[in-house]
Amino acid sequence: MLADDVTVTTAPDGQLTVIERIVTDAPAVHRIAERIPVSDDEDRLYSITDLHVSGAGAADGTTVTVTGPATVTYTVDGAVAAGQVRFQLTGGWDRTLDRVTASFSAPGVSTADCYAGQPGSSRQCTFSELRSGGAHAEQNVLPQGDRIELAVQTGPLPDNARFVPTGPLAAFAPGFPTVLSGLALVLYLLVGATVLRRRTRPPAPGVPPAYLAYVARGELDLTGTVLDLVDRGHLHIADGQVTHGEADPLTPFEQAVKNAFPPGPLAAARPDQSELKALLDAEARRRGWLSERQSHVRRAGAVLAIAGIATTVVLALTVGEALIGVALLIAGVATSAAAPRVPWQTRSGRALGAPAARVESPLAAEIDAIQAMAERRAVVSAQ
């Protein structure tokens, strides 16, 4: 024999105190429901707290095992919606109950319905009626796995029911944490856009044009360097002929450019683009004008994207709110995409400013043609 006598009392805050007095002559397991389907795409959630078992029984979470007479007491939150208290009085047993009785106490009870059978079934209990101060229900036989659910219209009680969507996209339903993560994402993108906004500064005096162009835009300004060396007396170019001179000290990059324009015909110049750019990059970094910020930002974006994918999967398979992971993924992708726009200059590199507009001349046009030819040779050799 297995019988369950249930007493439910409603508190002013809408929480229920449930006492189940169980009588059994053999071990039985009772799983108290915390999530109940209410439609094809929605479940209702209940919180079971303060669960205590006295007598011949024990509890593991919300699963109660009894081996003899026992009393189970717990508190339920989430049972009130629009003035109606609805809760599964008992169910989830691994044996058939021979008899269930239930008493419900609440102020202002006007209607009471008792349902027995599988979850979602509208079959009426064996007996139910209103009584002074509440309702009473009875069920003679409750098959294994069936439940008894009571729906009672009461006086004013605060709503505390919680409903969650189900189905493939349920984990992506937005909740309060998702809204917060969305706002954080928008703030992150706005701050990032502000940081990436580039400000043009005038060129710093005394800095050769090649360094200005490379630090500001990553370009090799061979023409500007040659014209600068001409102005400083290291190169003399007239009537298509190059001669060398000596003046102030040269950096390794500038010396390499001078060597690439040996004495003789200007057309014989053979500047090595990759070598010159490597020397220029090394000097710019030695002077502290360039940083590794772009690669750091790119790695940070990849980490954020991977974390977003992992978070999405974990939340989708557990508590939901998987859009939090999607927000992380978007932040990661946006960060990686923005990496090329992140200034690669240090503070001192940005202080150099941008190169001034070059004054065009026939000599500048000749050197431009030599640089273009060198670029084409570099492309062909790379293939």
Q: E strand or H helix at 193, and its extent?
A: helix 176-196
Cα–Cα distance, 2 to 63 (Å, whole number):
17
pLDDT digits over 98-117, tens only?
Answer: 999 999 998 888 899 999 98
Helices (H) and strands (E) in the chain, counts: 9, 18
Q: Considering the entire predicted model, what is its pTM? A: 0.52
- The rounded distance, in Å, linking the Cα atoms of 51 and 72 is 7
List the structure tokens of 348.
């001192």
Residues 6+ apart with CB under 8 A from 199: none
Place of tokens 């010159």: 276
Q: What percent of the chain has pLDDT over 90?
A: 35
At 9, is the secondary structure helix, strand, or coil? strand
Per-residue model confidence as pLDDT tens digits over 226-270: 988 998 999 999 888 999 998 889 999 999 999 999 999 988 888
Q: Which helix (H) or strand (E) holds 253?
A: helix 252-260
Which among 372, 362, 308 is positioned nearest to 334, based on CA atoms?
Answer: 308
Half-sphere exposure of 103 (CA within 13 A, CB side): 10
Phi, psi (degrees; rounded to nearest 5) at 99: -155, 140
* Residue 313 pLDDT > 90: no
Cβ burial 180-205 (10 Å sphere, 16+ → b, else e): ebbeebeebeeebeeeeeeeeeebee
Average pLDDT over residues 80-105: 91
Diameter of the chain by CA atoms?
A: 117
User: Given phi > 0 = left and psi -120 to 50 = alpha, else beta, which region is 355?
Assistant: beta
pLDDT band at residue 4 under the 50/70/90 scheme: very high
Nearest to 203 by CA among 358, 360, 356, 359: 356
What digits encode the pLDDT tens for the residues 30-70? 999 888 887 777 788 899 999 999 999 999 999 999 999 99
